[in-house]
């Protein structure tokens, strides 16, 4: 299983309790395709450099998870269907090198 990070942008208009529910649904989608969520980090509200689809900003989240490489396309497809998500980008998490013994 590979380690991935998903940067998810939710609409700025989403209320706090709705945001928690939307994040729980994203975690459920990851688990449905066989992934294991390691961490969820709220980045907060950010403005876009330029308006996109009449939106000027969003609420950013980073979800770190493990998933088999062959299932990442299935996850992307499932997340595209979620109307609560404005944008999502999934990248492979950088490998953390162990410190060398001296």
Domain that holds residue 72: 2-92
Residue 94: which pLDDT band, with cuts at 50, 70 and 90? Answer: confident
Tell me whether residue 99 is in a domain. no
Q: The domain spanning residue 26 has which CATH number? A: 3.30.70.60
Number of domains within the chain: 1
**Does residue 10 lie within any of the structural domains?**
yes
DSSP 8-state secondary structure symbol assigned to residue 80:
H
**What is the helix (H) or strand (E) element at residue 13, kind and residue range?**
none
- Residue pLDDT, tens place only, 8-50: 999 888 888 888 899 999 999 999 999 999 999 998 888 888 8
Q: Is the pLDDT of residue 61 over 80?
A: yes
- Please, what is the end-to-end C-alpha distance for the chain in angstroms? 31
pLDDT for res 97: 66
CA dihedral 47, 73, 30, 34 (to 10 degrees): -160
For residue 51, is it within any domain? yes
pLDDT in tens, 62-71: 999 999 988 9
**pLDDT at position 98 over 70:** no
Confidence band of 100 (pLDDT split at 50, 70, 90): low
């Amino acid at each position: 299983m590979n380690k991935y990070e998903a940067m998810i942008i939710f609409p700025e208009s989403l209320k706090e309790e709705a945001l928690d529910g939307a994040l729980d649904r994203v975690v459920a989608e990851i688990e449905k395709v066989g992934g294991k969520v390691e961490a969820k980090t709220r980045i907060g509200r950010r403005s876009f450099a330029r308006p996109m689809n009449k939106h000027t900003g969003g609420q950013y989240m980073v979800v770190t998870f493990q998933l088999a490489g062959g299932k990442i396309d299935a996850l992307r497809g499932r997340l595209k269907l979620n109307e609560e998500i404005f944008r999502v980008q999934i990248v492979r998490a950088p490998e953390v090198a162990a410190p060398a013994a001296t």
